Amino acid sequence: MTLEEIKAAIDAGQTVHWANTGYRVHKDSLGQYLITFEPNGSTIGLTDHSGQRLNGDDAEFFIAGPEGGDEKSKDSQLRPDGQGRGVVPGGKVAQSLRRQR
């Protein structure tokens, strides 16, 4: 999904995830678009500081399907310990954060 598609889906009330259903993309009360890892509340911005580049591969964002499911079965990408990709040091989130510096 493109940045514009993600924002439009969220603004339309759809549930957007990144990488797997543990990561939810949402808009806060200040109008900021964020990615939150639901199990522990860890949050980063949807984009880098310029607001133009996604903090994640655009192909990994997806809209949740009906009845709490999702379009791409991203749950299969959970690690055996139940944690999503990118939550370990050096994972995707850490790589995205390093690119911002």
Beta-carbon contacts of 40 under 8 Å, excluding residues fewer than 6 positions away, are: none
Strand ranges, E, within 1-101: 16-18, 20-27, 33-37, 42-45, 61-63
> Greater confidence, 96 or 11?
11
Tell me if residue 10 falls in helix, strand or coil. helix
pTM (2 d.p.): 0.67
Residue range 58-99, pLDDT digits in tens: 999 999 987 544 444 444 444 444 444 443 334 444 444 444
Residue range 45-58, pLDDT digits in tens: 999 999 999 999 99
CB-based burial label for 12 (10 Å; 0-12, 13-18, 19+) = exposed
